[in-house]
Amino acid sequence: MTLDELAREVDAACRLRGEFLLRSGRTATEYFDKYRFEADPVLLDALAGRLAALVPAGIEVLAGLEMGGIAVVTALGRHTGLPCAFVRKTAKEYGTARLAEGADVTGRRVLVVEDVVTSGGQLAISTRQLRELGAIVEDALCVIDREEGGAAALAADGITLGALLTRSDLDRARDRAGR
């Protein structure tokens, strides 16, 4: 499947129209429901296969953010062979009481993986928390960059954002499909 075909499939599966409150507090008239591509094993595997080529050299651990980044990072780990960490929004208060479960991140080069990035807010928070745990985080990777300032905000925190698809890519794919 070409990247353009993949973009068309993702757009058809997950772009919703209406009024949606985003995590950033902003209201949007379009929403990319990531669970629609994460719940489709064939589509998720195709996305992970393409994302694998975007993983920077030297990465030792893939860190998926709760909740949507978990499915993406697990599929990506299958394609790269890299161990995964699963990052909570807050450390759990029972059991191991960890913020990051799975692979140890301390002293390791970690790639933070997210599904959709808008403002980059949660990604920045989680990256700071991972750095406090001793992780070396310079890069993040997402399936969709909504192109609403997330990449610039993350750059200010020393994080380079890579994206498999952007909102512009999805718009072009949608236009070519005549939707």
The answer to whether 120 is annotated as binding is yes
CB 112 within 8 A of CB 139: yes
Contact indicator for 150, 130 with CB cutoff of 8 Å: no
Give the pair of three-digit tokens for residue 173.
Answer: 């794919």
Do 84 and 103 form a contact (C-beta atoms < 8 A)? yes
128 annotated to a ligand binding site: no
Asked if residue 23 belongs to a known ligand binding site, the reply is: yes
108: annotated binding-site residue? Answer: no
Query: What are the structure tokens assigned to 85, written together?
Result: 């960490």
User: Token pair 């498999």 is at which residue?
Assistant: 164
Q: Is 27 annotated as a binding residue?
A: no
Residue 114 labeled ligand binder: yes
Question: Does 115 count as an annotated binding residue?
Answer: yes
**117 in a known ligand binding site:** yes
Q: Is 80 annotated as a binding residue?
A: no
Annotated binding residues, as ranges?
23, 88-89, 92, 114-122, 146
Annotated binding residues for orotate, as ranges?
118, 146
Annotated binding residues for 5-phospho-alpha-D-ribose 1-diphosphate, as ranges?
23, 88-89, 92, 114-122
